[in-house]
Chain A
Amino acid sequence: MSRKLVIDPVTRIEGHGKVTVHLDDNNRVTDAKLHVVEFRGFEKFIQGHPYWEAPMLLQRICGICFVSHHLAGAKVLDDITGVGYSTGVEMLPTAEKVRRLGHYGQQLQSHVTAYFYLIVPEMLFGMDAPPEQRNVLGLVEANPELVKRVVALRKWGQEVIKTVFGKRMHGISSVPGGVNKGVSIAERDRLLNGEDGLLSMDQVIEYAQEGLQLFYDFHEKHRKQVDGFAEVPALNMSLVDDSGNVDYYHGSMRIVDKNKSIVAELNYHDYLDYFAEATEEWSYMKFPYLKELGREAGSVRVGPLARVNVTRSYGDSTPLAQAALERFHEYTNGRANDMTLHTNWARAIEILHSAELIRELLNDPDLQGEQLILMPADNAWTGEGVGVVEAPRGTLLHHYRADEEGAITSVNLVVATTQNNTVMNRTVRSVAEEYLGGQAEITEGMMNAIEVGIRAYDPCLSCATHAMGQMPLVVSVYDAGGGLVDERAR
């Protein structure tokens, strides 16, 4: 008899989602979907608000990557007021570097949260481990020293955010044309040298290297599982600088294929010429794709795996991350890496990269510069802007329009998890076929494998769908007649 499996909710992700898997009479997978089941509506209710309020209100979409939303919005306001990249104006060095510092601080703390709190439990205990063990409390019992270091590392990232934005969460720094404060010598030295209860920069880099080593050790022991788990083909997209290297704050959007040949490279202000969005009745999350290639071939992957696939190098200023990147690139002989669990490898590399970028910035005297805001010339108002940054989970786009009186008239947000929608669904299908297909009995470990696949993307469904309320994750299995056969909900 055919069956339907349901996982509801998917756990250890940001936001709420559900998975359904349909099996036929022979227990073969006929369909598998990741549903995002709630709606929040930020794009609608921001309409009518004063334009300068948008980055403050919209960052509240997320409690994890609020800095990315704040900065994407800030770049839009730069455009709207006529001091942005759309009008060819270069940001003041201090303002741009302060924004970058906050951005890298957030990437570090967000990746540390995802990697250590959400993903490492499976690396240490295995996918089949009982749910009561494979979580952060299980980690505390098994390796308290590791957890102490993780907490300290995340705290340091949050202190970088607080230094720039005034608060660890939902602070304020960027205003149209710049920032409202620089970084003092005392603030800089505190982050570089640490203090009682706060790591030093050197310790941060040491702990980041240990995090990467954790992946190397796990990979060494479980190479077959890590490499063989959900190898899902997709194009890869990232912001890159003029040298073709990843730039988390600004650049052009580059999309590469399996051979790392450039499929498209665009000024993000032109994104509407390149991208379309499909919708499905079973999910509130849209499915963006490159118009020219169509939905199936033109869906892209974003985030850590995509970025390390796209970037040519990290340059000379971050030698430890550069060495790690070279090792990553060599593993697939220079071709793009489609192995889903290698996203965690990429994430660990980016923790180290963020730390080295922060060290470089903290030693830059421009952070103490006094020119913080570029004032627009008369009649510079454009009333429209697009801002893109590489959020921890991938390429994040904000697009606003405002009328001449200053009221927001329209907003479009294309967040990283939305870009990953198709590739996440492919991953769910791949894991379902591998782990559930042909199985008469469905175990907890099999169901968890699907969640492991989703978790690799560290999806933020709250950002992607503007989900509101409480919707835990469910995995469901249905038979051919639509009857529910098995369901796991948490």
Chain B
Amino acid sequence: MSVRITIDGKEYKAGDGATLVDVAADNGVYIPTLCYKRGKPCLGTCRTCSVRVNGNVMAACTVPVADGMEVEVNEPEVANMRKMLVELLFSEGNHNCPSCEKSGRCELQAVGYELEMMVSRFPYRFPVRPREHAAKHIWLERDRCIFCQRCVQFIRDRETGQKIFSIDHRGSHASIEIDVKLADRMPPEQVREAARLCPVGCILEKGVGYDQPIGKRKFEIKSIRERALERERQ
């Protein structure tokens, strides 16, 4: 069954219960995301896709569309809120793009560019979280973690289904953790999948970096907006 919704005053048809962020993309309206990955269950952790739905601010990745829904995406106040959220993510971590190997492939950096973020309006916290590099093939740059929980939910031990990554502590003390024993059982392609899934440069494959020349990196070839509008899943 299809429903009718409006986005920024324009009416669209959509499948009942489809995810709002996907419906928008299918109709050429880009809503930035960081924790959400098309084709995977929604996490709703980063709130970067916040839009106004029937007057309330909600994360578009968590909203199933319903008939008559009125959505504001590019209304200036809500657009500014999304930009502020991204600025807060930059302020909370140590995102040193010039030397980070994820540069050019980093979704946070790409979304920052898309939102035309020039500088964060918030003071930088410069957190000091110890790096974790006890695993044989994975290096965790904890100061770059945005706690999206993609790795926590989607990267699991292939035999037991146990979680390999987890979040320890809460609030400003939160820290991404790794089960070293399980991590050392990860096959190489799963290590690469984890590194690729991480939207920032937190999960790194040891000894592998900077292998793509400048100009050929993921978001230099095609922007994150274009990829979203083309319904890219990975």
Contact = CB atoms under 8 A, between A and B. Distances in A.
A171 B210 contact: no
B209 A181 contact: no
Contacts of A407: 131, 133
A406 B209 CA distance: 13
Of listed B206, B207, B216, residue having the most chain A CB within 10 A:
B207
Interface stretch (A49-57, A195-203, A355-363, A436-444): A49-57
A173 B213 contact: yes
Contacts of A405: 133-134
A223 to B, nearest CB: 47
B215 A166 contact: yes
A166 B101 contact: no
Contacts of A121: none
A167 to B, nearest CB: 6
Nearest to B220: A166
Contacts of B147: none
A53 B204 CA distance: 11
Interface string B131-158: 1011000010100000000000000000
A53 B207 contact: no
Interface in A155-178: 165-167, 170-173, 175-176
Contact of B210 (A167, A180, A406): A180
Given A166-B213, A166-B214, A173-B213, A406 B206 contact: yes
B80 interface: no
B116 interface: no
Contact of B212 (A167, A180, A406): A180
A175 B139 contact: no
B211 interface: yes
Contacts, number: 54
A173 B98 CA distance: 14
Nearest to A373: B211
A50 B98 contact: no
A342 B101 CA distance: 43
Contacts of B210: 52, 56, 172, 175, 180
A406 B133 contact: yes
Interface string B40-51: 000000000000
Contacts of B204: 50
Given A56-B210, A165-B214, A180-B212, A50 B99 contact: no
A269 interface: no
B207 A176 contact: yes
Contacts of B134: 405
Interface string A35-76: 000000000000010101100110010000000000000000
A52 B214 CA distance: 17
Contacts of A173: 213
B214 A406 contact: no
Given A167-B214, A171-B214, A406 B207 contact: yes
A81 interface: yes
Main secondary structure of the interface of B (DSSP, over half): loop
A407 B206 CA distance: 10
A172 B131 contact: no
Nearest to A53: B99
A50 B213 contact: no
Nearest to B133: A405
Given A56-B101, A407-B131, A50 B139 contact: yes
Contacts of B101: 52-53, 56
Contacts of B206: 50, 406
A175 B99 contact: no
Interface string A347-387: 00000000000000000000000000000000000000000
A170 B212 contact: no
Interface in B161-176: none
Contacts of B131: 48, 407
Contact of B98 (A166, A170, A175, A180): A170
A50 B214 contact: no
A83 to B, nearest CB: 12
B213 A172 contact: yes
A407 B212 CA distance: 22
Interface in B99-114: 99-101
B83 to A, nearest CB: 27
Nearest to A376: B207
B198 to A, nearest CB: 15
Nearest to B207: A52
A50 B102 CA distance: 13
Interface in B74-125: 96, 98-101
Contact of B209 (A48, A53, A170, A171): A53
A166 to B, nearest CB: 3
Given A170-B98, A175-B209, 4 more contacts: A52-B101, A175-B210, A406-B139, A407-B131
Interface of B: 96, 98-101, 131, 133-134, 139, 141, 204, 206-216
Ranked nearest first, the 3 interchain pairs of A and B with the lowest CB-CB distance are A166-B214, A57-B99, A181-B213
26 contacts: A48-B131, A50-B139, A50-B204, A50-B206, A50-B209, A52-B207, A52-B208, A52-B209, A53-B99, A53-B209, A56-B99, A56-B101, A56-B210, A57-B99, A166-B214, A166-B215, A167-B214, A171-B214, A173-B213, A175-B209, A175-B211, A176-B207, A405-B133, A405-B134, A406-B207, A407-B131
